[in-house]
Amino acid sequence: MSLQFGIPLFIIAALLQAAVLSHLRVYGGQPDLIVVIVLAWSTLDRDREGMIWAFVGGLFLDLFSGAPFGISSLALIPIAYFIGLTEAQVYRTNIVLPLMLTLAGALAYHGLYLLLLRFFGGVSLSWSEALGYVTLPSVIFDVILVIPALRLLSGWYTRLHPRQVKI
Amino acid sequence: MRRESRRLLTFGVLLLLTLGLLGLGSRLSIIRPLISAVTLPLSPIARLLTGGTETIAGLSTPEEDPEVLKARNRELEKTVAEMQVEIVRLREIERDYYRLSGLVNYTTQHPDENIVTANVISRDTSSYLRWIIINRGARDGIKVGNPVISDLGLVGRVEKVAANLSWIRLANDPASLINARTQESRAEGIVTGLLQGGLRMDKIPQTQLMDVGDLVLTSGLGGMFPADIVIGQVTNVSKPPAELFQTAEVRPTVDYNNLDIVSVITAFIPVDTSVFDEQIQATPNP
């Protein structure tokens, strides 16, 4: 993802997340737009871009949060790294696999975020309460959101990274 | 360099960079001006989006049955009539209070409270935290620790300040702790936020009497908040016989999900607790 496309995308996503999506809470969960974009891009790009945008996206998330600055990046970068380890362009062959990756990625992100929040922010939440009230509704939102996100971003990805064919 | 090695190197560099940012942010607090510089130009857009979302959320209230509305109207009229009687009674008590306080030469000293009014720009992007960002900061005299109120009661406390922005931890944040007492029974405890959005009053001694409907106010102890700011109303009391303390569920008076304008108290006279310090010093060591 190029800078002139990525930065405005994450600015808009962060603004929407802070001002609009935070009003759409079901139980305590809300759609994590930036997390979804990072997970979708990491699914599409198996090189380093997913991790770089995980770093940038996490910083934008933390701009509008009371959490220690950098905590979301720290939670997102390993997820982007591990998604990049999965084999081949799964999205092109099967839609179920990216959904499973998003499910696992979003769950891992929330788990890591809670751990880091406890370690760096001193906020200790009950795991069972957090899981039932916030994590699961958020993850369901994310899995639903990733389908349109993949459709939109895969178009951009193909434009930015055209397939090279040897003649 | 092989692709995997390149990825691993990027992973390591990014992790180190993020850890560096976390360290800078928590130890030196020099990251805030940078955050402010990025966030400030975005704040008018965020404010516009927040306002628009709140308006749409308000419009989307489902229509209700006219009969239900009529019944509710009758109920509200009855409540208003009862409130008016209550107001008259309280005015009488107020007059008595001033008269009696004059008689015993008891002068009430109200602290000079400086107040800064601010607009709420956005809410926390994290689902686990209950924070808001307001469009006033250090340039307006706001400091870390300042209490934040609305017309309905206590909102929270300023936790981070940039030049033109402040980050407020709401009273219903899971990490929020507020010294409180009930208005009627004067039972003291600590109000904490719940992940579900409500409040819980904890550490109330078993000997204290608690009733459903009691108003919960800030006690002012600890000097973090001025005394007697309304926090909420007791909705349920749990008094397990085997426990040292009782707990109470508190319904907040402030709707934390629909905050638009808040006031920051930048100066107040905290409750004087020096008498306890003197007593502690006077107590001989065993």
Measured between CB atoms, which of A29, A66, A70 is closest to B167?
Answer: A66
Closest CA to B124 of A103, A157, A66: A66
| pLDDT tens-digit readout, B134-178 | 999 999 999 999 999 887 889 999 999 988 889 999 999 999 999
CATH number at residue B211: 2.40.10.350
| pLDDT tens-digit readout, A8-43 | 889 899 888 888 888 888 888 888 999 999 999 888
Residues B82, B163, single domain; the answer is yes
| pLDDT tens-digit readout, B24-50 | 766 556 666 677 777 777 777 777 777
Q: Which helix (H) or strand (E) holds B21?
A: helix B3-23
Would you say the ipTM is above 0.85? yes
Mean pLDDT for all residues in chain A = 86
Residues B239, B187, single domain; the answer is yes
Q: How far is A52 from chain B (nearest CA, A)?
A: 7
Residues B137, B262, single domain; the answer is yes
Cβ pair B195:A73 closer than 8 A: no
Give residue A86's pLDDT. Answer: 76
**Residues near A111 by beta carbon (within 8 Å), at least 6 away in sequence:** A135
Quick one: average pLDDT of B74-95? 82
Please give the tally of structural domains in chain A. 1
Q: What percent of chain B has pLDDT over 70?
A: 79
Residue B276: inside a domain: no
Residue A132: inside a domain: yes
Domain that residue B194 falls in: 175-253
Quick one: average pLDDT of B270-278? 65
**Cβ atoms of residues A94 and A64 within 8 Å:** no
Mapping DSSP onto H, E and C, the string for B43-98 reads HHHHHHHHHHHHHHHHHCCCCCCHHHHHHHHHHHHHHHHHHHHHHHHHHHHHHHHH
Which of A93-97, A131-135, B217-221, B222-226 has the least mean pLDDT? A93-97
Residues B163, B260, single domain; the answer is yes
Per-window interface: A 95-134 vs B, CB < 8 A? 113-114, 117, 120-123, 125-126, 129-130, 133-134
Indicate the pLDDT class of residue A109, thresholds 50, 70 and 90. Answer: very high
Residues B14, B117, single domain; the answer is no
Give residue B61's pLDDT. Answer: 53
Residue B113: inside a domain: yes
Within an 8 Å CB–CB cutoff, is residue A50 touching chain B? no
Q: Is 90 exceeded by the pLDDT of residue A50?
A: no
Residues B140, B205, single domain; the answer is no
Residues B52, B113, single domain; the answer is no
Residues B259, B142, single domain; the answer is yes
Closest CA to B173 of B254, B110, B63, B248: B254
| pLDDT tens-digit readout, B5-17 | 888 888 888 888 8
Residue B232: inside a domain: yes
CATH number at residue B118: 2.40.10.340
Residues B43, B13, single domain; the answer is yes
Per-window interface: A 58-77 vs B, CB < 8 A? 58-59, 61-74, 77
Q: How far is B7 from chain A (nearest CA, A)?
A: 5
Residues B43, B100, single domain; the answer is no
Q: Which residue on chain A is closest to B157 by alpha carbon?
A: A66
